[in-house]
Amino acid sequence: MGKITSLILGVVTSIGGFVEAGSISTSAQAGAEFGFSLLWAIALAALIVAMLSEMTGRVACVSRRSMAAAVRERFGVPFQLVPLAGELSIDAVLLTAELGGAAIALKMLTGIAFPWWVVPVGAAAWLVLWLGGFGVIEDGIGLLGLVTLSFVVAAYWLHPSATEVVRGFLPQLPADNRVRYAFLAVGIVGATVSPYLLNFYSSGIIEEKLGEPELWINRTTAYGGMGLGSVVSMGVLITAAVVLKPAGVQVDSYESAAVMFEPVFGAWGTALFAASLGVGCFGAAVEIALNAAYAVAQSLGWSWGADKPRRQAARFTAVFSLMLLLAVIVGVLGFDPLQLTQIALALTVVLMPAVVLPFLVLVNNPAFVRRHTSGPIGNVALAALTIAGALMAIVVIPLELMGG
Amino acid sequence: MLKVVGDVLDKPVFDRSGRPIGRADGITMSIVDGQPPRLESVVLGPAALAERVSRRLGSWVATWERRLGFAGADPVALPFTRIEVKPLHLEADVAAADTGLVALEQKIQRWLARIPGSR
């Protein structure tokens, strides 16, 4: 495949793979409760995830090491244990939430209760991983995910006030419900800057055999893909702000969020929302299960790779199979996927410094990136944002749980 | 000069056919009075890895490995004379199957072979 084709496909699939349970639910809740005023949080989260993706990709291109492998080699096992255990815990909760989200999408289409769909969805995810190579998993699911652009179409057709939309990009504290507002801002960042996304991205760079001469592809994919992908999340927020907020609809379930498509797509609204939710969550579930296998196998030095025959990478295969099995068992018990998503997002932001800060060290170490070290502005900004986000999460999450 | 931490410890280890067999989970060194420390072996295996976190965890993992019946349960020490240090990995002049380090991998391979579509 030509480099330009690879680049275009990378950007397009990043857009298609951007939204999933976390981003749909937090953006919908933010729009329904606070109108456009949390658009800045999506833009900020997209900037952070683009910067981090570019960094993980740069390390992978230059050193041929994924994020998990590089952290182990630079910091050793006792240190790596914290981010790895944190990442796997978040992966487990988020994977259950994504399977649940896809199952709820099928419930919307069929009327059959969602726990019944968890096993078929989990089995389908496992089949994709069992039979598909990296191209099928990454590009196939990313292209299917373009159905989520329906959120952008809906936002456009609803003709929101341009002035109010622009004002939403300026951080502002609301007159009341400030804790809830801060909680949703933290949730939006947590939904976007998932550790799984970063290690998956760096593993993808190695799977696709990108090297130092392809750093420009990495940069364009990271900033272009994540930037354009965030437009889909903004589409969810704007649609919810225009449709759900005036109607006083609170997004306490995915079904209540589905109403947002009705003014634009009419009778097809629920089906289109279900398709967007289902494809987004299913794609994320496949990527999360695969990422757990990447992280464990790379940390322990096992054979790994989505393009390898599964028996040749047997332990890698066993990890994604066990992760899916665990998530299916928890999912069948009927835990609310929306609540699981919020737990995963809170955990993500609290643990983010443990994931991000070591990486800032790596990306400034010539042993890993040669002359491609980061500039001081990016380093300081990213470190400050990460620590500020975690501190905010530590303050806001207990307050929110105690009822504001 | 070789840097043990950085050039050896935690590096991925491949056998002589290029098959990944793990990472350098630990090392053993000999110290003789009046001489510089000498790197004796590179140690691989879950128990060696766990011991890096805590000695008690290491012995707990080793006990469970023996109970579960995995061959090569104890950490495998590869003499450093049979290790070549490459820029990105270590190359061991051994066959993976002879070390016991891939016993679990082989067991899972047999299970996977029974699943339709196995490749």
Sheet holding B12-14, edge to edge: B20-23, B12-14, B90-92, B83-85
Residue A10 has pLDDT above 80, yes or no: no
Region A185-211: what's the mean pLDDT? 90
Helices (H), B20-101: 46-53, 55-68, 96-99
Beta bridge partners of B76: B44
Task: Check residue B91 and report its DSSP letter.
Answer: E
pLDDT tens digit sequence for A340-357: 888 888 888 888 888 888
Of the listed ranges A96-100, A213-217, A292-296, A354-358, the least confidently predicted one is: A354-358
- Name which of A77, A81, A311 is nearest B109 (Cβ-Cβ): A311
Region A195-218: what's the mean pLDDT? 91
- Predicted local confidence at residue A8, as pLDDT: 81
- Predicted local confidence at residue B73, as pLDDT: 53
- Asked if residues A19 and A236 have their Cβ atoms less than 8 Å apart, the reply is yes
pLDDT tens digit sequence for A249-272: 999 999 999 999 999 999 999 999
- Predicted local confidence at residue B37, as pLDDT: 86
**Chain A: residue whose CA lies nearest to B104:** A315
pLDDT range class, residue A399, cuts 50, 70, 90: confident
CA distance, residue B6 to nearest chain A CA (Å): 7
Residue B71 has pLDDT above 60, yes or no: no
- Substitution target from A73, A129, A294 for chain B, most B beta carbons within 10 A: A73
Return the higher-pLDDT residue of A321 and B63. A321
Region B17-29: what's the mean pLDDT? 93
- Name which of B11, B21, B108 is nearest A314 (Cβ-Cβ): B108
Residue A100 has pLDDT above 90, yes or no: yes
pLDDT range class, residue A338, cuts 50, 70, 90: confident
- Predicted local confidence at residue A340, as pLDDT: 87
Interchain proximity B12–A69, CB inside 8 Å:
yes
Interface of A with B in 149-178 (CB under 8 A): none
Asked if A78 reaches chain B (Cβ–Cβ under 8 Å), the answer is yes
Which pTM does this prediction carry?
Answer: 0.93
Q: Which residues contact B19 (CB under 8 A, 6 or more apart)?
A: A303, B96, B102
pLDDT tens digit sequence for A284-305: 999 999 999 999 999 999 999 9
Determine how β-strand B83-85 pairs with β-strand B76-79: unpaired
Interchain proximity B112–A317, CB inside 8 Å:
yes
Letter for the amino acid at A224?
G
DSSP A35-92: TTTTHHHHHHHHHHHHHHHHHHHHHHHHH---HHHHHHHHH-HHHHHHHHHHHHHHHH
pLDDT range class, residue A1, cuts 50, 70, 90: low
A103-107, A398-402, B3-7, B55-59 — most confident range: A103-107
Region B4-27: what's the mean pLDDT? 91
Percent with pLDDT over 70 in chain B = 95
| Cβ neighbours of A130 in B, within 8 Å | 115, 117
- Predicted local confidence at residue B88, as pLDDT: 85
**Long-range Cβ pairs for the range A86-90 (8 Å, 24+):** A86/A195, A86/A347, A86/A351, A86/A354, A86/A355, A87/A195, A87/A196, A87/A199, A87/A295, A87/A351, A87/A355, A88/A292, A88/A295, A88/A296, A89/A347, A90/A194, A90/A195, A90/A196, A90/A344, A90/A347, A90/A348, A90/A351
Return the higher-pLDDT residue of A398 and A220. A220
- Predicted local confidence at residue A318, as pLDDT: 97
A12-26, A101-115, B43-57, B87-101 — most confident range: A101-115
Distance CA(B15)–CA(B28), nearest Å, equals 19
Determine how β-strand B90-92 pairs with β-strand B12-14: parallel
- Asked if residues B104 and A315 have their Cβ atoms less than 8 Å apart, the reply is yes
Return the higher-pLDDT residue of A289 and A383. A289
- Predicted local confidence at residue A136, as pLDDT: 86
- Tokens 């060194």 belong to B29
Interchain proximity A300–B49, CB inside 8 Å:
yes
Mean pLDDT of chain A: 91
Residue ranges and CATH numbers for the domains of chain A are 2-168+176-399 (1.20.1740.10)
